[in-house]
Amino acid sequence: MADANAFNHPLHLTPDLYLRHWDTETLVFNAASGDTHLLCGPAAQLLRAIETQSRSLPDDPDTLITKLRGLGLIEQAGS
Amino acid sequence: MILGELSDNELKDRLKNAGVILRTGPFIFRIKSNLEPVHRGLARLYDQFPLGDETGFVDFDVQVHTPLWRRVLHPQARFLVDGQAPFQPLPADQAFAMLEWGLNYCVYAHAHQYLIIHAAVLERNGQAVILAAPPGSGKSTLAAALACRGWRLLSDELTLIDPARNGQLVPLARPVSLKNASIDVLRRFHPSAIFGPLAHDTSKGTVSHLRPPDNSVARMDETATASHIIFPQYSPDATTCLEPLSRGQAFMQLAENTVNYSLLGEEGFTQLADRVEQCVCHHFRYSKLEEAVDVFHRLSS
């Protein structure tokens, strides 16, 4: 597991997200864009960790963080 | 009063003049038509449906008619709702199918107080099964078979989820649309089934509508609670097989079949996710209707 402290700024979910967690899946509705995303495996784990401010992130989270930011689901606090 | 209590002449007269005020589920339609297939189809398939108050409110004012100048040479049927024509005209012998498609249009284009899934829905023993699939998957054939074997038909085409009633499923109980080979399959499966007029050479091939069970029509005001979401797929050589589907996958497939998901935004997401959460979700492959019906009987027992 990587440590959230490895990042210069803590991450958080963008506003207007609606989430459902089902087993290893996380369903996200982004009310700002109208898009719905189904995340599985490490991507779902990462989103849950950010949502709960957990310190443990999946291995090698950088690529996933870039993808989730690209989808508009997470951002750096204060941005 | 129900439509079947009108004499044949009274029905024709109303269709040509003041209109027939027909209630199907929560919707009231005023239907006018000067075309014989419409008269024949209504008399045969809607005889148990309640008639509304002639002076009261109607949700949709619809007409299926042929203009005077088109009655002899290549007669055509035009569908109008509240004076607007959403479709191109069709040959007059397709008039009843056009009415059915038009009534569906009225609901899915306007009734956004509901979350509307392009799916059949049937209920047995208090458990409602949503059958969602794209056209050609055997959804309506399966729905018709279940209706013929005692399931309550809520709809073969439009599943209405009512957010104002805690996500209950709202019945329409209208005839089941069958196409091409499915028509004869159902005739063999249930020889006493009653069909409306055959419409040949439509954009969907040959189309006919199956009369809904009387019990389904009588219970059209009784909502149901969803218990199963099933994605059926007919395949000629398939072994009957019910496979579990994850909630996430079920949600995404259901959303693709939901007419107004984007339009309803957060409400659409919440309603759909709540229904997925309360249901067991499966893929279902079948080739034999009797086996398929047995599987569904076991699900609801």
Closest CA to A54 of A20, A4, A14, A17: A4
Q: Which tens digits make up the pLDDT trace of B185-224?
A: 999 999 999 999 999 999 889 999 999 999 999 999 999 9
B252, B266, B273 member nearest A31 (Cβ): B266
Confidence of residue A7 (pLDDT cuts 50, 70, 90): low
Q: Six-digit token pair at B162?
A: 């009512």
The ipTM (two decimal places) reads 0.87
Higher pLDDT, B249 or A10: B249
Identify the closest residue of chain B to A20 by CA–CA distance: B273
pLDDT value at residue A4: 47
Is B190 strand, coil or helix?
coil
Residue B228 has pLDDT above 80, yes or no: yes
Q: Which tens digits make up the pLDDT trace of B180-196?
A: 999 999 999 999 999 99
Higher pLDDT, A4 or B31: B31
Instruction: Report percent pLDDT > 90 for chain A.
Output: 66
**Rounded distance between C-alpha atoms, residue B199 and residue B208, angstroms:** 6
Confidence of residue A60 (pLDDT cuts 50, 70, 90): confident
Residue A43 has pLDDT above 90, yes or no: yes
Domain ranges of chain B: 3-110, 115-174+212-299
Quote the pTM value.
0.94
Strand ranges across the sheet with A25-30: A17-22, A25-30, A35-40
**Rounded distance between C-alpha atoms, residue B155 and residue B122, angstroms:** 7
Residue B30: beta bridge partners?
Answer: B21, B61
Identify the closest residue of chain A to B249 by CA–CA distance: A38
Quick check: B269 and A29 CB within 8 A?
yes
A23, A27, A34 member nearest B273 (Cβ): A27
Q: What one-character DSSP code corresponds to residue B195?
A: B
The 3-state DSSP composition of chain A as helix, strand, coil percent (nearest 5) reads 30, 35, 35
A residues 19-78 closer than 8 Å to B (CB)? 20, 22-23, 25-27, 29, 31, 34, 36, 38, 40
Give chain A positions within 8 Å (CB) of B262. 34
Domain of A15 in residue numbering reads as 2-76
B248, B255, B265 member nearest A31 (Cβ): B265
A26, A27, A34 member nearest B265 (Cβ): A34
Confidence of residue A61 (pLDDT cuts 50, 70, 90): confident
Topology of domain B115-174+212-299 in CATH is Phosphoenolpyruvate Carboxykinase; domain 3 (3.90.228)
Residue B31 has pLDDT above 80, yes or no: yes
**Rounded distance between C-alpha atoms, residue B20 and residue B15, angstroms:** 6
Chain B residues whose C-beta is within 8 A of a chain A C-beta are 246-249, 251-252, 255, 262, 265-266, 269-270, 273, 277
pLDDT value at residue A40: 95
CB count in 10 Å sphere of residue A10:
12
B238-242 average pLDDT score: 96
Higher pLDDT, A7 or B24: B24
Number of domains in chain A: 1
Higher pLDDT, B135 or B182: B182
Identify the closest residue of chain A to B263 by CA–CA distance: A34
pLDDT value at residue B69: 65
Residue B250 has pLDDT above 60, yes or no: yes
Confidence of residue A1 (pLDDT cuts 50, 70, 90): very low
Structural Rg of chain A based on CA atoms? 12
Confidence of residue B73 (pLDDT cuts 50, 70, 90): low
Query: Is residue B281 within 8 Å of residue B244, measured between CB atoms?
Result: yes
Chain A: nearest CA to B269, how far in angstroms? 7
Chain B: nearest CA to A28, how far in angstroms? 9
Judged by a CB distance cut-off of 8 A, whether residue A9 touches chain B is no
Confidence of residue B134 (pLDDT cuts 50, 70, 90): confident
Q: Which tens digits make up the pLDDT trace of B95-107?
A: 999 999 999 999 9
Higher pLDDT, B301 or A5: B301
Q: Which tens digits make up the pLDDT trace of B1-22?
A: 999 999 999 999 999 999 999 9
Which segment of A9-13, B108-112, B284-288 scores lowest on mean pLDDT?
A: A9-13
Q: What one-character DSSP code corresponds to residue B66?
A: -
